[in-house]
Chain A
């Protein structure tokens, strides 16, 4: 599925990722944990092709296809989805319009037919209901005036509608109360599938109580410095990142 080899990346002149290697096989959920400034968000942006991040060395591929040479929208069409830590507001563009435009853009890029309006609306109603999103909210400008929790649920709704192959969740738990965290986690878990991989980036073990990872990696100073099973997250929660930041 996702394969990252010896990835180096700069922001401006500053090296942030310094030889990161990671493999996430299909059907698995991997968690990336680490202290502030370790490069967690940089990793998500480099994988999705945001401007201002320069890859100086290494590779990243999805199912054997190089990702780094593609434009952000081409990566999206290949099935890479990023749930943003801070979702953007899009005034004047209703969520329904936004998602349908995105879905059809991806389908066209893959040489598929556009989705018919009735099928799209039916799907949107189902998914919104499962995420406890009021359907009328989808007729308002995307994320405009939404609370932090509503924005995160809207990210998961987009994810469910776009049905990507590989999901990156960047601090999806930040700003969520416990009820919202449960709803969001259930939404994510519903997307677990044998042909789908997930990378869950988080500071806290709390999220991993709801989204159970197959593997946990510690990212410190731009590299994976430790990997283990779910028990590694509990250990980090108890001991903190000190020993890794010192070691790095």
Chain B
């Protein structure tokens, strides 16, 4: 594991949370608080058509009637929704034509985060520049999307959600909210009312997207929430691989991130969706601050033989509440969920997946790895269900927890519902503690304690790391080690 050493060196070179810097850039805000006027303000800021505003307002009215869910195994004080900004944007024009128009300060931030926005470098063959298209979302707006022309040449639409609403209203109206309806749950409903931006992808029939697509979310403004909305449509026989990454500055206040991601798959389509989530986790000692990551992600495998795969590496956030799900409607469709959830300090994670088997001969696979250290709590919560028509449905679930130290906790809450007699569901679960014996064994062979922990943890999460695109797998491996720094000894 050559990356182990590099990992340890990276860890040594870093502050605990490397993305914790704040940036002073000119920004404009909506007035603090939430009301119909704010919803109208956001919609007006984005020059949205009337139908979009109506959609938002309906969502807002429904949200007022909903209550926040309390079933997750997480603990936090009630959120004051009036004490937050729902719109924060860098003061520059939306829909810029080239990078030259982007505020250099913002470019500097993405450079600092190691995110390539400069197409020309990539195109010029700068060594080491990875070739993937990026949509960069800064607080409430998308600041730039790269490689649009090259993608457009094969018919792929990759743009910000705001632009999609303006330029491709027929697609947005057809699919937005069709996977996660506005009133699906409390946070999704809130998102529907106030979502500010996000990414939109459409892959036409039979097209294999020629490069990785990715979105980088950055919360920068103080006291602001981030509510992005992502919609990906893979038409018949289409394929794309998509990655999202998230970071935020260190702040003493909790910030709310309530995103919605909808994936639509028609016949024979395939989407691989990967997440490397590294929101600020709060102060490791006091637990103060950090992001509340309350996210709804769902894929609808409408088409026969369609295939979706969620891979997530969750290392950040004070609280994670997230269950990327697969609705397996099409005959022979399949869903996969690979997850690494790392919690340290005072972090709380309640995460898992739902595999809803509706069609015949649908298949799903779940591999969830939880690592808890410090005083953190990690819960895997999953639902596997087969409806009467889902004859021949199959699921395999493997759910492993690794505990580091004596003050953390891991829970596993699997729900299994089979409503026909011809489904086969398998569930395997293990909980182990990173043992002193193992650590000593590895150290006796010459590895330092940090290297030994990295090696053991990387072994534990290997099955999931293998699912990530190559360059992100290495990043994720480092991130896991950084998150666990100082957890032993």
Q: Write the residues of chain A forming the contact surface with B, with a CB cutoff of 8 angstroms.
A: 48-52, 71-73, 75-77, 81-82, 84, 87-88, 90-93, 97-99, 101-106, 108-109, 141, 158, 162
Q: Tell which of B446, B449, B456 touches A77, judged by Cβ atoms closer than 8 Å.
A: B446
B481 contacts partner chain A, Cβ-Cβ < 8 Å: no
**10 A-B pairs, CB-CB below 8 angstroms?**
A71-B448, A71-B449, A72-B440, A73-B448, A81-B444, A93-B1, A98-B455, A105-B447, A141-B459, A158-B445
Q: How many A-B residue pairs have CB under 8 A?
A: 89
B442 contacts partner chain A, Cβ-Cβ < 8 Å: yes
Are A71 and B443 interface neighbours, CB within 8 A? Answer: yes
Q: Tell which of A52, A77, A87 touches B441, judged by Cβ atoms closer than 8 Å.
A: A87
B121 contacts partner chain A, Cβ-Cβ < 8 Å: no
B407 contacts partner chain A, Cβ-Cβ < 8 Å: no
Q: Using Cβ atoms and an 8 Å threshold, which residues of chain B touch A75?
A: 444
Are B445 and A98 interface neighbours, CB within 8 A? Answer: yes
Are A105 and B441 interface neighbours, CB within 8 A? Answer: no
B377 contacts partner chain A, Cβ-Cβ < 8 Å: no
Are B446 and A109 interface neighbours, CB within 8 A? Answer: yes
Are A105 and B451 interface neighbours, CB within 8 A? Answer: yes
- Interface set, chain B 431-489, CB cutoff 8 A to A: 435-438, 440-449, 451-452, 455-456, 458-463
Are A101 and B1 interface neighbours, CB within 8 A? Answer: yes
Are B440 and A91 interface neighbours, CB within 8 A? Answer: no
Are B456 and A93 interface neighbours, CB within 8 A? Answer: yes
Are B460 and A91 interface neighbours, CB within 8 A? Answer: yes
Q: Provide the main secondary structure of the chain B interface.
A: helix
Q: Which residue of B lies closest to A92 (CB)?
A: B459
Q: Using Cβ atoms and an 8 Å threshold, which residues of chain A touch B463?
A: 92
- Interface set, chain B 1-20, CB cutoff 8 A to A: 1, 4-5
Q: Tell which of B441, B447, B449, B462 touches A101, judged by Cβ atoms closer than 8 Å.
A: B447
Q: How far is the CA of A104 from the CA of B1 in the complex (A)?
A: 10
Q: Using Cβ atoms and an 8 Å threshold, which residues of chain B touch A84?
A: 441, 444
Q: How far is the CA of A51 from the CA of B447 in the complex (A)?
A: 15
Q: Using Cβ atoms and an 8 Å threshold, which residues of chain A touch B452?
A: 73
Are A102 and B447 interface neighbours, CB within 8 A? Answer: yes
Are B455 and A48 interface neighbours, CB within 8 A? Answer: no
Are B438 and A88 interface neighbours, CB within 8 A? Answer: yes
Q: Which residue of A lies closest to B441 (CB)?
A: A88
Q: How far is the CA of A52 from the CA of B1 in the complex (A)?
A: 29
Q: Using Cβ atoms and an 8 Å threshold, which residues of chain B touch A104?
A: 5
Q: Using Cβ atoms and an 8 Å threshold, which residues of chain A touch B458?
A: 92-93
Q: How far is the CA of A90 from the CA of B462 in the complex (A)?
A: 12
Q: Tell which of A91, A108, A162 touches B445, judged by Cβ atoms closer than 8 Å.
A: A162
Q: Using Cβ atoms and an 8 Å threshold, which residues of chain B touch A72?
A: 440, 443-444
Are B455 and A101 interface neighbours, CB within 8 A? Answer: yes
